[in-house]
Amino acid sequence: MPSFRFEAADASGRIEKGLVEADSAPAARAALRAKGLVPLGVDAISGQKKTVLRRRRFSEAELSLATRQLSSLLAAGLPVAQALGAAIEQAENKAVREVFAAVRSDVFAGHRLAEALAQFPREFPDVYRASVAAGEDSGELAGVMDRLATYLEERLALRSKVFAAFLYPAVVTGVAFAIVVFLMTYVVPQVVEVFANTRQALPWPTRVLLAISWFTRVGGIWLAAVLVGAFFAVRAWLRLPGRRLVVDRWLLSLPLFGRILRGVDTARFASTLAILTGAGVPLLRALDAARATLANMVLATAVSEVIEAVREGQGLATALGRSKVFPPVLVHLAASGESTGKLDTMLERAAANLSVEAERRALALSTLLEPLLILAMGAIVLGIVLAVLMPIIEINQLVR
């Protein structure tokens, strides 16, 4: 049954907005009147008509939850349209409800699920739509949706673990910066003002501290403006042809941090390739969709070369090995998968190994940064304290 977005007023004049299911727009208005509402507007929701694309894109976590719900409902034997209806009722986010309502309307109109999802490319990425299409072709849609849900959940878990590893250092850095700014703009000027009336020459650390304090108070706004301008200038520079490739190559060359970036990106690539090949998607199409998940341009360019090599008849593992940018574990497991006919299983294993390695390196880097940040903060505070105390010590010596 199609869905309609409505705006109606109740008996007290309060405006209500939401979704209503009906066979037609007049039937939707009749259903609203039966509930004691006065219809002000009723619009059909359909992905084919692009009526809901103005709303914001929902998050990957919301997509993961909705996919898990759909996979459970399909595994229970519910038809696609009925499973979509149950997922709409369970969804808490309005954006998720509207998009899935539009998808269900298209399914009711006779479109395949993959065709309905294709009307929302921002919400459902290439790997998602390709997997659903392969599941429909093979008649294993429930199993494919289950693997999709697992894939999305594992991606979220990896991202959350890496984020959590760097959260504490980021918080410490932010707090330290705020404390230093507070000391420089408020505490230091008041303390050092005591020495302004004395004609004693201030020690050079105190003079340096006063200069930094003055610049922070007077030139801080200008410095912030320069930093913001530099940020946008760098973004514009990165859009120039070839610039992003240079920066990404430099990032991958960084010790420890570069290996974390390579591990996270490669794990995402291997996991995506595994779910697509496991769903029956042709290898070239799977590689093209998996390339879109890579954030690093060096790796994405390498995958483009791998696609051309595979198209010319080379094996996947051989093409990956010749690129010289992918971890050896991925190359070796891909070779094992090709020789045994279990490529998707070996790619999943490679993705799991790379994820664990990336998590371990992120934790090691976080553990290394924590004491370094504390030492740096202590050194800065110690320098401020010494710069303030040195004039006081000199005055006490003169008095004696």
pLDDT of residue 307: 93
Is pLDDT of 299 > 70? yes
Residue type, 93: N
Q: What's the rounded mean pLDDT across residues 317-342?
A: 90
Distance CA 125, CA 60 (A): 10
For residues 157, 159, 160 and 165, what is the CA-based torsion angle, rounded to 10 degrees? 130
Task: Give 243: exposed, middle or buried? Use CB within 10 Å, 0-12, 13-18, 19+.
Answer: middle
Q: How confident is the model at residue 193 (pLDDT cuts 50, 70, 90)?
A: low
Is pLDDT of 46 > 60? no
Distance CA 381, CA 1 (A): 67
Mean pLDDT of the chain: 81
- The DSSP secondary-structure symbol of 194 reads G
Is pLDDT of 113 > 80? yes
Q: Return the percentage of the chain with pLDDT > 70, whole number.
A: 86
Is pLDDT of 398 > 70? no
Over residues 143-180, the pLDDT tens digits come to 888 888 888 888 888 888 888 888 888 888 888 888 88
Q: Which residues contact 319 (CB under 8 A, 6 or more apart)?
A: 305, 306, 309, 310
Over residues 221-259, the pLDDT tens digits come to 787 888 889 888 888 887 776 788 888 888 888 888 888
Q: How confident is the model at residue 332 (pLDDT cuts 50, 70, 90)?
A: very high
3-class SS of residue 289: helix
List C-alpha distances in Å: 19 to 45, 47, 318, 342, 348: 9, 15, 53, 45, 40
